[in-house]
Amino acid sequence: MNRLIAFIALVVLAVQVSGTKFTDCGSQSGQVTSVDVTDCPDSADTCILKKGTTKGISIKFTSKSESKTLKAVVHGVIAGVPLPFNLPKSDGCKSGIACPTKNGENYTYANNLVIRNSYPSLGVTVRWELKDDQQQDMVCIEIPCEIQ
């Protein structure tokens, strides 16, 4: 019995440390299972965002509700203040997800974020949200980053 508990704990830990490090910041109608950011090593505590490049993001999650729409909203949080990032493609239903979402189904959202040369070089937390048709966060994740 103790071996079984230890094995389950090890599997849960392995799932949590695979992919880009992130924190769930209040996913209400979904459960995030993994996040992957282009060229951001799994072992990195901070994801480096180089100016003049584009970073791809992939978020795998399970929906806990049905929603006809999903809208992506991205902020850079600096000193606790959320500042909006421009996201040309904010329709989550055109970013790898077939809407409407269904309760209990697994989805993979994919999009890109342009890191503009005009952004200041500093540490930032990127908050990525997918809002359902009730304006609740189906997905809300935060990724520690540094703009260089």
**pLDDT tens-digit map of 90-111:** 999 999 999 999 999 999 999 9
pLDDT (average), residues 76-97: 92
Dihedral (C-alpha) 64, 70, 76, 77: value to the nearest 10 degrees? -40
For residue 15, pLDDT over 70 is answered with no
What is the per-residue pLDDT for 129?
Answer: 97
Q: Nearest to residue 129, comparing CAs of 80, 79, 77, 78? A: 77
Number of C-beta neighbours around residue 69 at 10 A = 16
Q: How confident is the model over 18-57, as pLDDT tens digits? A: 578 999 999 999 999 999 999 898 878 999 999 999 999 9
Pairing mode, if any, of strands 137-147 and 47-49? parallel
What is the per-residue pLDDT for 6?
Answer: 33
pTM: 0.84
What is the per-residue pLDDT for 13?
Answer: 35
For residue 123, pLDDT over 70 is answered with yes
Query: pLDDT grade, residue 85 (50/70/90)?
Result: confident
The percent of residues in the chain predicted with pLDDT above 90, rounded, is 77
CB–CB of 51/147 below 8 Å?
yes
For residue 127, pLDDT over 80 is answered with yes
What is the per-residue pLDDT for 67?
Answer: 96
